[in-house]
Amino acid sequence: MATKKSSPKTSTMSASHKNALANGRTEGRVIREYLEIVEAIKPKRGRRRTPESITKRLAVIATELKTADPVTKVRLIQERLNLRTELAGMKTKTEVGTAEARFIKVARSFSVRNEITYDAWREFGVTPAVLKRAGIERD
């Protein structure tokens, strides 16, 4: 006797499962965006540059380029290119504040779901004030 072949089961996700996945993706995106900003503005050795100090140095370079010898000129051109790139990459306070506000809204649930501790956030560079506002406390 021939047995009836069973068709492969097609499982469908429930609406709540789909919503949970979408929520996780959204939270992950918000967290990633904020952490990239934190990493980009982490203090580095030496004096921290401001947009004003970079603009001032660019003006000095423009003046020095007029009278520089060829080797110095190429070095100044490279410095100018580096400074323009740095200036373009600087985040405004508004951008940082917006990303921080979104981070604060989702950080607690993200931390609980992914078992990320206060100490891990701190070691990465997230400030205690931001963690406190997000409701993430020391263990």
Give the residue among 37, 31, 38 at the shortest CA–CA distance from 124: 38
Higher pLDDT, 139 or 4: 139
For residues 53-60, average pLDDT:
95
Mean pLDDT of the chain: 87
Interval 65-121: pLDDT, tens: 999 999 999 999 999 999 998 888 776 666 778 889 999 999 999 999 999 999 999
pLDDT of residue 128: 93
pLDDT of residue 94: 65
d(CA 76, CA 64): 8
pLDDT of residue 1: 59
Tokens of 20: 């949970």
pLDDT > 90 fraction of the chain, expressed in percent and rounded: 51
Higher pLDDT, 33 or 47: 33
Exposed / middle / buried, residue 14 (Cβ in 10 Å: 0-12, 13-18, 19+) = exposed
pLDDT band at 12 (very low <50, low <70, confident <90, very high): confident
Q: 49: which DSSP letter?
A: P
